[in-house]
Structure 1
Amino acid sequence: MDPIIAEVLDAAARDDRAALVQLLHPYLHWTSGGRTIRGRNKVFAHLEELTEPDSYELRDGQIYRWSSLR
């Protein structure tokens, strides 16, 4: 597992929003189970379902795209 993914999963498990703000790009594209949410703040409401992504993209050292089929 990529270290940044491990950091995101750990921060989400601890509900550490300050850490997540540093790890997730403000214009994040989050796709899970075929549904896409755009924007870091909108994604925060869905973090309880967090699993390792099938693919992801980094931009400026932050997660920009997170895609999970589950």
Structure 2
Amino acid sequence: MDQTVSDVLCAIESEDWTAFAKLVHPYVSWTEDGHTTRGRTRVMAMLAGRAHTSGSHTAPPAREYEMRDGQVYQWTA
């Protein structure tokens, strides 16, 4: 697993959205359970909202991912 992908998971777990924003491309495509969310701001809101409502500060690890300019551009869990 790429270090950046590990860092993304750690940022989500610790709710460090500043770090998350630096690791994820502004036009990221984030897919979980067949549902795709596009855009860094929307992905952060989705993940933060899930943590707030369910108490879970985790995201499923990426089965596939694409990097662009050193940031995660596509995440498929």
Common topology (TM > 0.5)? yes
Q: Name the residue aligned to 2:54.
A: none
* Aligned twin of 2:73: 64
* SS of residue in 1 equivalent to 2:41: helix
**Higher strand residue share:** 1
What is the aligned-residue RMSD (CA, Å)? 1.2
Q: Unaligned 5+ residue runs, structure 2?
A: 52-57
What TM-score do the two structures reach when normalised by structure 1?
0.89
- Partners of 1:22 and 1:12 in 2: how far apart? 12
Identity of aligned residues (%): 43
Deviation by residue 1:13-65 (Cα, 9 ceiling, x = unmatched) = 11111101110000000111111111001101232451111100001100000
Computing the radius of gyration from Cα coordinates, the structure with the larger value is 2
> Larger deviation: 42-51 or 20-29?
42-51
2:6 maps to a residue whose letter is A
- What TM-score comes out, normalization by structure 2 length? 0.81
Q: Which residue of 2 aligns with 1:46?
A: 46
Runs of 4+ in 1 over 2 A off after TM superposition: 45-49
Q: CA deviation at 1:3?
A: 1.0
Unaligned runs of 5+ in 1: none
